[in-house]
Chains A and B, each alone.
Chain A
Amino acid sequence: MKRNTRILGRLYALLLNLYPRAYRVEHAEELQAVFNLTVNEAAQRGGFSVIWMSIRELRDLPGGIIFEHWRERRKQRMTTERGSLLTFEPGSWRETLAAVAPFLLLGLLPPLLSLMLLRALIPPWLGIGLTLVLAGLLGGLFVTGIRKGMQRWVLPYVGVVLSLFSVYVFSDLLFGLFSVLVDRRDPWFLRQVVYQGKLWIGLFVATLIIVLVAWVSPRWRSLYWRIRRDWTLLSFALYGASLFALLFTFDDYPYDEPYIMAGMVILAMGGWFYLRSRWLWQRALALFTGLTLAMAVAATGKAVIYSIPGWSSGMFTWQTEAMGTGIMWGWLVTMVFSPILLNLLPRPAERLPTE
Chain B
Amino acid sequence: MVGIPSRHRSIFLLGGVVLLQVLLLAVQIKRDSQGRLIRVWTVGAVSPFERAGAHGVSHIRDTWNHYFALQNTSRENEELKRENGALKLEITQLQSKAGEADRLAALLKFRQTNVDVPMISARVIGGSADSASQTIYLDRGERDGIRRNMGVITPDGVVGKVIESYKDTAQVLLLTDKDSGVGAMLVESRLQGPVGGTGEPLLIMKYIPNDDNVNSGERVVTSGMDRIFPRDLPVGTIAEIKPGIPFKQLRVKPAASLERLEEVFVLLTMKPLELKQEPPAPGSAAPSAAAPSAAATNPSQPEKP
Say whether A associates with B.
no
B residues whose Cβ falls under 8 Å from a Cβ of A: none
- A interface residues (Cβ-Cβ under 8 A, vs B): none
